[in-house]
Each structure stands twice: as structure tokens, then as C-alpha cells.
Structure 1
């Protein structure tokens, strides 16, 4: 029984990396875990070195049929990019959602075509009419960060959710030495970090390990005492 408790504690912090660079996978027990996705960027002229961003997704709660995630979007673009905005991000969802909503820096929920990438089930935009090609004049500029949350609603209670075909939308791109001025573009996922728990979750796990360790030590002492008595 004690060994089983210790094994469960170890399993709680051992998460597999995402299966591909274009998806993040979740189960309903991963409350408080964050997965970080790095994006590159390209315009109609092709890949643009230096155009990049990062989006982190944190599973905040699972209540009934609804999953709520926190997000943090950082514009990591650098030379030769002099200016750019991340005006939105999005993905497909497995299983499909019945509805979705968002708050914060990217508080407009939409769906539809993203330039050069095709149609997506969901996107969250800084402003605009809810089309994945949009984003208006708002967004996250170079070196800036935008945060908020989004909620995905499903037809029934589920235990696993995959966010696939992740993308970001760029606008107002200036990279004169690369021949891009006032351009727009998109980015696809280039890497996905393993899920890790937030500090509060680590604290709970440490307490669990300490308890399991104390119980194991007590079990050994009892076994030694029984051996001597015999």
C-alpha cells in the first residue's frame, strides 16, 4: 500500500512531452499545469527569420463540460524584424467544442480562415470581427506580453482534450532589410515544452512525497523491530 502511494506521487509529476510540435495534449487531472509553445513566422514572401512568439497555456479548471485555460502571449520577434504585432492565436480542438469564450488581451472569440493556413475551429483575437484573419489594430508588440483566459465547452464531460494545428497571427510587420514593410503573416508551432506544474502544485506534491517517505520509514522500522523480536 505504501509503495503504491509513492508510485502514484511519482506518476503525478511524470508527464509525456506533446506528441508533435503542432499539438498540446491534456487530461482533466492536470489542473495548474502549463505548456509552452514557440512559434516561428512567415509572410506571403516566405519564412521571415526573427518573426517569432510564444504562447503558454495553463489548465485552470475543469467543471462539468467546461475546460478553462489561462493564456500568456509573448512577442519574441527580433532582428531583422523592427516591428510586429501578435494580433491573435488559435487552434483546432479534439473533441470538437460546442462553444467557446475568452477574456483579457485576446478577448474576441472567432473561427474561420487564417491566411496561408486554411480554416480553424477557434481563434482568439485582440480586436476585430471574430475572423481568424483579423485582429484589427490591437495586439502584443515586440517584447510585450498579453494574458487572459479562454473557456471551451463540450457536449458532455470528457477526460482528455487536444489542441492541434496551433497558430498565431502577425500584423504590422516591418523588416526593411528583409523587404517587408507593413506586412502581415502567420506562425505555426515549432516546439512544444513538456507540461510542468505551477509552484502551488509542486508544494502539494512535495507534501505528498514527504508523507509517503515518512510512511515508508515507519514501515521499515516496524519490520526491523519485528525481526529483532523474533
Structure 2
């Protein structure tokens, strides 16, 4: 009986150690961490540059199904108080066609959000926040927004799609770069990231947080 108790205790201690070792580049941990309005809002405000963004609803590991095509599983899918939609994705593989992956996700989100009888003008703006550890496009910036213009002009082509490539490899001194440094460490003692830090501290240091992590892993 004593040996069984010690075995259970060791397993529990190992699980706690595993949870503490996770960082926000784990899509599972990110999904749990940002399934909290204040934490998700903190991340989105910094990466989009929208200081008054207010998160209204969050879904994590959200599946959008289509009978005739691939499903899309979104790491974090949020809606703000103005009806704008946000998809936060963690990408750790360099072998993926990133541009076409974001194209696929925006098309699936559009098909889900455009109800029958809705005019195209009523389609919500969609933000794809695509986070990677490496500088995928060699932009030299932490956040690299995709801009569309008519050829030979500076006239913007506004279709309501906003794609932001974010990376943790470039430290350009911005708030986004500081956030990416935090993503890499996810240190529960580091309280520099406000609501996100409080959420990480809860998940890694408090009993209720341990239970959440053990339940999903």
C-alpha cells in the first residue's frame, strides 16, 4: 500500500513538473491560458495594436467542419465587442505553406460567420494572428502585418481580412517583442504581462490551475 501511495505521489509530482515546464508555444497550453477573457484580451491588444479591444467571447480548439473539405481546428477563436473575429494560431513547423494555411482558415471562418440572408457588407472583420518561434518571412520585425494594395499604387485593398505574422526570433524592443519573450519562458514568477501573467501563475502555481491542466492532458 505504501509503495502504491509513493508511486501515485511521484506521478503527481512529475505531472506538476511537466505543467510548470510548458510555455505558450504549446498550442494546448496556449488554448488553456487564453480561455480567459482578460488574458486573451491582453495578448490581442498588444499584437493588433488596438488598445480598447474588448473580448466578448472565446472558444479554444474550436472545430469548423465542412462536409466536402478539411476541417479547421482553431487554437483560439475570439469575438470582440464590435463583432470582429480573431484567430490566434501557434505554428511550430517550418514545412507548412503558411500563406495558404492562413487563406484556408480565413475562408472557413468566413463561411461559418456569413449566415443565410446576410449581405457581404455585414461580414465581420477577421484577424489571423499567426505566431511562430522563427521569423518565417525574414521581415526583421516582431509583428509583420500583411498589406494589400492595387498594383502600381498605394491604394489599399480593404477586404476585412487582417493577417499578422508574429515571431519570437526578432527582438525589436516593442511591447510585442516583450510579450514574445514571455511566451518563451511563461515563468509564473514574472508578473510583467498583467492579466496574462496572472493566468499563467494560476495555471502553474495554484491547485485549481493544476487541476485544469491535468484534466486536459
Question: TM (normalized to structure 2)?
Answer: 0.34
Q: When you count strand as a share of all residues, which structure comes out higher?
A: 1
More helix by proportion, 1 or 2? 2
**TM-score, structure 1 normalization:** 0.32
Please say which structure displays the higher CA radius of gyration. Answer: 1
Specify which structure has the bigger relative contact order, considering alpha-carbon pairs within 8 angstroms and separated by 6 or more residues: 1
